[in-house]
Amino acid sequence: MENKLIDQKVPFAHVLLLPVYILASILYLAWRIDTSYMWHTWYVYVFLSAEFYSILMTVLYLITSRRIMYPVWVPPLENKTVDVMIPTLNEPEHIVKMTAVGASYIKGVRHVFILDDGNRQNIREMAAKIGVKYLARNKHLHAKAGNMNFGIQYTDAEFLIFLDCDHVPQKNFLERTLGYFSDKKLAFVQTPQLFYNTDSIQFRKVVNRNYWNEQSMFYESIQPAKNSFNASFFCGSGAILRRSAIDSVGGFAIETATEDLHTSLRLHAKGWRSLFINEQLAYGLAPEDLAEFHKQRTRWGAGSIGLLFRSPDSPFVAKGLTAMQRMCYLSSASFFLNGIQKLFYFMMPIFILFSLPFNHIQTSIPVLTYLGVFLSFWGFSYFVTYIYSRGTFHPIYTEQFNIASILSSFFALKGILQIQKKFNVSTKIKVKKEKSVAYSMIIYIWVLMLVADLFGLVYWFIYKGTTVQSIFSTLIGI
């Protein structure tokens, strides 16, 4: 029997925001194309693409997130075998030990396996001391997915809990998740990935909650909304999976570095169901600084973009998916292009200002009129996104992370050229802080914007002899 879902009620006015926003988007783009784009410049097409992408992503988000759905808790199944799998590569022993010990205390678990792709003697000895099983393979093919596929060969458990080696589970993990598998077609239950190192780059102090996390919107709005369409996906950790479901798709997908998203798509295409529950059942470590954030997001982005554009399992062409499932996977995979769109927004004013002496721009639209329409539409976009996010979207902090993702988005483009299978583990705890290329790039963009602004002012006031009166006339269109 399929699990019952409860709809989180929202005011009817919020429901109306979706069609209103779609209509506003059409009118805005029509106005931009017809009257305000400078078609004699080559960069207009770049800017148009950036605006179209931004609007498309917002519309996809609003469509897929208009309803938040949570399953009704079901008492755990009895007499079921459950094992825990903990993949690791080079993480410190004390981090792996905390997770393994925590997994051992989960009520109802039979065995805990440490899958050590680093073949480390100290991890082997630690596993023996705390009474968990240790597995290490000789050939390290297909990164994390290969390690997990290797591990499940050594268990006949009906259900498997997968934990990243820095995610410590709560002892009631099975009590809160196992009952949902009374639905024979349920492949997995995913829980939110929560983090206890609140001094990391991903956290900000906010007024209406203890901490705002960069992933709050995903786990509190996007994932539960995907329950509506049977499209919530496996996130690689903090999940329990049905073994027969994994076997039905040939194990975890090894063709991309995002084996969690890829495997989820295959399961959904095969007719399996999934659930996301918003319960705090495991706590882990978030990337500590911008360098590690960049490394993690590059991996996610390259894998997702490769899945989208190069894989035969792409949501564009995969058989067996519903229309809404395709839309959900399209939205999630294409999200990692967001940094590129932001860079275009920042670079266009810089390019325009520096090209003033060579390409005088003529437009019949008064500056104040243009700014009024532009800022009103984008302000409305932020407002609608905030409403649909149930308060998890933070306009300032979200934009900070969009900017921080610029470099990783560009690096992720290699997923278009070649499927990314290599798995680079981010270092969650560092003894010494290191300078980040991503951080330097943000500083460079900021400096370029400042120099371009100064150049524009000097050009208009000195070389063009512009006066305050002529500037005012331009602003109001006289």
- Would you name the residues annotated as active-site residues? 117, 260
What is the secondary structure of 343-406 as a DSSP string?
HHHHHHHHHHHHTTTTS----SS-HHHHHHHHHHHHHHHHHHHHHHTTT---HHHHHHHHHHTH
DSSP alpha helices (H): ranges in 285-336? 290-309, 323-334
Q: Is 282 helix (H, G, I), strand (E, B) or coil?
A: strand
- Both tokens assigned to 299: 């991996």
- Cα(83)–Cα(110) distance, integer angstroms: 5
C-alpha distance from residue 165 to each of 18, 125, 132, 169 (Å): 40, 16, 14, 10
Strand order in the sheet with 194-195: 168-169, 282-284, 194-195
- Cα(248)–Cα(361) distance, integer angstroms: 60
CB-neighbour burial class of residue 447 (10 A; exposed 0-12, middle 13-18, buried 19+):
exposed
- Cα(170)–Cα(105) distance, integer angstroms: 8
Going by C-alpha positions, the residue among 288, 340, 36 that lies closest to residue 166 is 288
- Cα(358)–Cα(44) distance, integer angstroms: 16
DSSP 33: I
Going by C-alpha positions, the residue among 171, 209, 169, 172 that lies closest to residue 193 is 169
**Phi, then psi, of 221 in degrees rounded to 5:** -130, -55
Rg (CA), the chain: 25
- Cα(223)–Cα(234) distance, integer angstroms: 10
- Cα(423)–Cα(451) distance, integer angstroms: 39
